[in-house]
Amino acid sequence: MKPAVFFDRDGVLNQDTGYLYERTKLRWLPGAREAVKEVNEAGYFAFVVTNQSGVARGLYKEGDVQALHAWMTEELADIGARIDAFAYCPHHPEAIVEVYRTSCACRKPGPGMITSLMQRFQVDPVRSFLIGDKHTDVEAATRAAIRGYLFEGPNLEHFVKNCLRNR
């Protein structure tokens, strides 16, 4: 078993501009790509867990989310970093797109995305943690029985180094 860092996406890895799905609008936060590389070099899995209710609201498609994540993967590879898996929740209880209208365990603060990745990759929960920018992210971590850290800026690489030192 191997430890993992679960990153929220919008507000942690990139600027939260609201319903982001276009790569031309993605702006990496300071130290974000380097933080992922730090996690890789420390021997941890690096995962992204992100609520994407824009799909449920009909603003974009799941394919748009997947395309953005593929592009982010390429951007990270440019500096020798990688995300081991992306997980996203397209659901919302008040969805406009009926197929996505549900209250589910994967939508944070539910732990579903985290626990699913933990099972799929045989993650060590004792040494794993989540970094999010909202209290619902930290609550999802708590519900998944891992530590959660609230990131408020300014530099994710420095933040991650401190988190790794304290593990």
Q: Annotated active-site positions, please?
A: 8, 10
Question: CA–CA separation, 163 vs 149, rounded Å?
Answer: 8
* Residues in CB range of 78: below 8 A, 6 or more apart: none
Angstrom CA distances, 59 to 4, 9, 21, stand at 31, 18, 9
Residue 48 tokens read as 């992204």
The string of DSSP letters for 39-78 reads: HHHTT-EEEEEEE-HHHHTTSS-HHHHHHHHHHHHHHHHT
Pairing of β 4-7 and β 147-150: unpaired
